[in-house]
Amino acid sequence: MARLSDLKLAMGTSIFVSTFIFGAFLVAVIFLLQYFVVGFDLLTGILLAVGGTALFILFEWAVGPVIVSASTHLRFLKPGDNPWLENMVKDLVAKSGIPMPKLAIVPNNTPNAFTYGRTSSSAVLAVHEGLLKQLNENEIRGVIAHELGHIKHKDYIVMTVLSSLPLIAYWIAQIALTASWFSGGNSRGRGKDQGNAAVALIAIGVISFVVYIVSFLAVMRLSRLREHFADAYSGYLTKNPRSLESALTKITYGLSLAPKTTAEARSFYIEDPTQAKQDAAQIIENKDEYDLDHDGVLDERELELAMEKESKNTMQQLNSLFATHPPTFKRILLLREIEQEMDTGTYSSDKMYSHV
């Protein structure tokens, strides 16, 4: 039985583990440079590494929202631009007890939405034009409630900061391995020191890549967990989990038909476009197996059985380790459990995350 404290613990643990791994990684890099590179100053190396990392994370936190705004070409709404959407958000915000986010529309015909920002008071809730066109009012309400869940949990701020660490490790790996190739290729005529530097750079590159993989997996795990908590929050806030179930189905189907996917803000979206294509393809590929009455259409019960089976698929579970979002069928199954509990009349707000 999960609670909101479990998400906070997961965020705190992810920060601690990622920071610890990254700190050990920096120590290893500095040690290798000191050991192999003549004239390398240990204190200077530590100060540069720690200071550089801190500045990069601060830069990512400060500039990240600007990059998201520019890359998605969103348009901020002024009061009165879209009264229907504004009133819906205000109603849900009042029930959530959080500050009113800035509203924005993304000129994109795919059905999606996302939340980002530096703080809860400066959060932005962006909705694609495709979402407003393809979903009905209840479905949009379920999506908005999901996004407000992220603001309530403050998980998008943690994601912005943590996402910096794998990126730094990846860049260091690329730079070190490229430099080692040039250094090694020119070391024959330049003595032992040049060869030692090449060895150090290769070691740094390999360690950096391992740290990139480990820290990336940790960040992705938190990313998937926060989506489950936001889904559960939406079900509680709207008192209608089926609205988000239906919305996720339409979003996944709509994204799976999109001619191309986009990488901008993918971890912040309610659904990752690339993953949506994979989820839909997985069900379609095994359609004949799941079509129990062989009528050529997967009805609700057949689709539910398909989702249950796909959620237990070993390859699916392995692939999901690198995913920003849980598979759509797992998210829908979670919402079904919440809906069934609500139907019994025993559901209470203090247990809204019990099925996560």
Q: pLDDT for 176-235, tens place per residue?
A: 788 777 765 554 444 455 556 777 778 888 888 888 888 888 888 888 989 999 999 999
Give the pLDDT means over successive 10-residue stretches in the chain (356 positions).
70 74 72 64 70 76 83 90 95 94 93 90 93 94 96 88 79 81 57 63 83 85 91 92 89 72 65 73 72 70 67 68 83 88 77 78
Q: Domain total for the chain?
A: 1
Angle ∠(146,152,153) on CA atoms, nearest 5: 95
Position 203 in a domain: yes
Asked if the structure places residue 70 within a domain, the reply is: no
Does some domain include residue 86?
no
The secondary structure of 136-204 as a DSSP string is: -HHHHHHHHHHHHHHHHHTHHHHHHHHTHHHHHHHHHHHHHHHHHHHHHHT-TTS-HHHHHHHHHHHHH
Residues making up the chain, counted from first to last: 356
Tokens representing residue 187 in the block? 């070391």
In a domain, 325, yes or no: no
Q: For residue 166, what pLDDT is reported? A: 82
In a domain, 179, yes or no: yes
262 contacts: CB under 8 Å, gap ≥ 6: 273
Strand order in the sheet with 102-106: 75-76, 102-106, 124-128, 113-116
User: Whole domain around residue 57: which residue ranges?
Assistant: 4-64+163-218
**Is the pTM for the entire model greater than 0.75?**
yes
151 lies in a domain? Answer: no
Catalytic residue list? 147
Task: Tell me if 182 is assigned to some domain.
Answer: yes
Q: How far apart are CA 56 and CA 71, in angstroms?
A: 20
Q: Is the Cβ–Cβ distance between 221 and 129 less than 8 Å?
A: no
Q: Are 309 and 285 in contact (CB under 8 A)?
A: no
Total Cβ atoms within 10 A of residue 49: 19
Sheet strands (E) in 179-335: none
Specify if 337 maps to a domain. no
Query: What is the pLDDT at residue 193?
Result: 54
